[in-house]
Structure 1
Amino acid sequence: MRLLVAEDDRALGKFLQRGLEADGHEVCLVSDGQMAVDRFLAEMPDLTILDLNLPRKDGAEVLSFLRTIDSELPILILTARAEPETKVRCLDLGADDCMLKPFSLQELRARCRALLRRRREALLTLRYGNVEMNRVERSVLRAGIPVMLTNKEFALLERLMLNRGRCVSRASLLEQVWSMGTSAGTNVVDVYINYLRRKLDDHGPGDGQGQFIQTVRGQGYRIGAAPAEA
């Protein structure tokens, strides 16, 4: 699943990123409050881990703003402020959980799993046609048959299913799945789309329009009909 970590301590941020990626999550790490807002709006992550002591925008200010955007996506607060009123204020602003620094990575990972389990089933399981993706168990079924995917294949399919009905550009997929800039000059997206089609037994006309993963000429890829076609 997609996680956003906002932590201005670089060493701690990298430590959290590695620990959460070990659980199979896609982790976006930012170091200030404004970046946290920007990435939240761009990604709408499944879980946000937010330090209160952030530059540019304070964590409490970021938390309050994020809750005006989405009232359900889980947010876990990290803070070195031990006074009880800090935790109360965070919970009143809409935080789902609050952890005091220093903390155990094992406990934080467990709390993240608990928060993700509370998400609505519609967000945990993505479905289109006869393809079903469980984002917690990281499993994929097509017509009830398991499809074994690598981490990158899963992340690519997840990104397309989250945007079903909308074309996702190659540049966007390159940045979001591989963390590469648009000037990388690689055809890795097209290669992995072919991997996915083969594993999903995704056959169709040469133009790709009859396939589960459709090719939008000159733009990118899409799952499902475009809004105007629906």
Structure 2
Amino acid sequence: MLIEDDRMIGTAIEQALKDAAYAVDWVTDGETAVHAAENESYELGLLDLGLPKADGREVLRRLRTLGRKLPVIIVTARDAVDDRIDGLDLGADDYLVKPFEIRELLARMRAVLRREGSGSPPLLSNGKLNLDPATRQASFVDQIALLTAREFALLQALLARPGRVLSRSELERQIYGWNEEVESNAIEYLIHTIRKKLGAAAIRNVRGVGWMVDRSS
């Protein structure tokens, strides 16, 4: 979840995250952020401090009262040492000062997700199908291919749960944000393009239910 009220900054971060194969829900005020966190499951929150309705400090306090842990990186122009200390003491997992390089933000996100155990390992694999998050390169048997951001996100969702069937709606939630229009055949098309690159056996279809990859072998 991206919590940022500046439209220009929010648009740039949202697009960069999508390009890096993250599904993004972008909210622009503190109250909406807390409501979203109460009703949706997120791997990570990017939190600005200067927000309308409820400022970032209040949002962080309220997020920390929720039952489940949500990793949070504060992303703000406030660069005073006291602000950094206060943010970290309130429960933030990291603190990044604007302006920043997108590459640094992505690296900090990966580091926080690794610490939380919810991020991608260096290589996702079930023994036959392999996916490298650093390069978006996938291999299956003797086929090697470079995936698009959407293809990578779909295959990552399946490989994170080998042996489990994921429905169309579950895959859409992994790949697309709130404000993105999803065509009715988008998931089928992505699976078709992945199979074309890696082979039909890379992803299994469970008719009427969804798709899966085999358990680790």
Same fold (TM over 0.5): yes
Q: Partner of 2:22 in structure 1?
A: 26
1:89 CA drift (Å) = 1.7
% identical equivalent positions: 31
Kept in 2, the 8 Å contact 1:5–1:27? The answer is no
Q: Secondary structure at the match of 1:168?
A: coil
Q: Partner of 1:152 in structure 2?
A: 150
Q: Given the two structures, how large is their TM-score scaled by the length of structure 1?
A: 0.69
**Number of aligned positions between the proteins:** 204
Q: Partner of 2:213 in structure 1?
A: 223
Q: Is residue 98 from structure 1 mapped to residue 95 from structure 2 by the alignment?
A: yes
Q: Which residue identity is paired with 2:199?
A: D
Q: Partner of 2:11 in structure 1?
A: 14
- Looking at structure 1, the residues matched to 14 and 143 of structure 2 have their Cα atoms a distance apart, in angstroms, of 33
- Looking at structure 2, the residues matched to 167 and 56 of structure 1 have their Cα atoms a distance apart, in angstroms, of 40
- Looking at structure 2, the residues matched to 157 and 136 of structure 1 have their Cα atoms a distance apart, in angstroms, of 14
Q: Which residue identity is paired with 1:142?
A: F
- Looking at structure 2, the residues matched to 163 and 34 of structure 1 have their Cα atoms a distance apart, in angstroms, of 33
Structure 1 residues 57 and 127: CA distance shift in structure 2, 3 A:
farther
Q: Partner of 2:69 in structure 1?
A: 70
- Looking at structure 1, the residues matched to 131 and 38 of structure 2 have their Cα atoms a distance apart, in angstroms, of 23
Structure 1 residues 117 and 152: CA distance shift in structure 2, 3 A:
same
Question: Which structure would you say has the larger RCO, counting Cα contacts within 8 Å and 6 or more residues apart?
Answer: 2
Q: Partner of 1:166 in structure 2?
A: 164
Q: How does 1:88-127 map to 2 (within 5 A)?
A: 88-100=85-97, 103-106=98-101, 108-117=102-111, 119=114, 123-124=120-121, 125-127=123-125
Kept in 2, the 8 Å contact 1:20–1:109? The answer is no
Q: Which residue identity is paired with 1:70?
A: K
Q: CA RMSD in A?
A: 3.3
Structure 1 residues 17 and 168: CA distance shift in structure 2, 3 A:
same
Structure 1 residues 32 and 113: CA distance shift in structure 2, 3 A:
same
- Looking at structure 2, the residues matched to 162 and 15 of structure 1 have their Cα atoms a distance apart, in angstroms, of 28
Query: Could you tell me which of 83, 87, 90 is aligned with 2:84?
Result: 87
Q: Partner of 2:196 in structure 1?
A: 198
Answer 1 or 2: which has greater strand percent: 1
Q: Secondary structure at the match of 2:190?
A: helix
- Looking at structure 1, the residues matched to 160 and 58 of structure 2 have their Cα atoms a distance apart, in angstroms, of 28
Structure 1 residues 180 and 18: CA distance shift in structure 2, 3 A:
closer
Q: Given the two structures, how large is their TM-score scaled by the length of structure 2?
A: 0.72
> How far does the alpha carbon of each residue in 1:139-193 deviate from its partner, in whole angstroms, 9 at most, with x for none?
2233486332222221221222234343322234345435335xx4x32322321
> How far does the alpha carbon of each residue in 1:7-40 deviate from its partner, in whole angstroms, 9 at most, with x for none?
0222221122234445x34251222335445369
Q: Is residue 180 from structure 1 mapped to residue 181 from structure 2 by the alignment?
A: yes
Q: Secondary structure at the match of 1:26?
A: coil
Q: Partner of 1:209 in structure 2?
A: none
- Looking at structure 2, the residues matched to 39 and 68 of structure 1 have their Cα atoms a distance apart, in angstroms, of 11
> How far does the alpha carbon of each residue in 1:82-103 deviate from its partner, in whole angstroms, 9 at most, with x for none?
5433211211233233234xx2
1:127 CA drift (Å) = 2.1
Structure 1 residues 84 and 140: CA distance shift in structure 2, 3 A:
same
Kept in 1, the 8 Å contact 2:96–2:105? The answer is no
Structure 1 residues 14 and 39: CA distance shift in structure 2, 3 A:
farther
Q: Partner of 1:208 in structure 2?
A: none
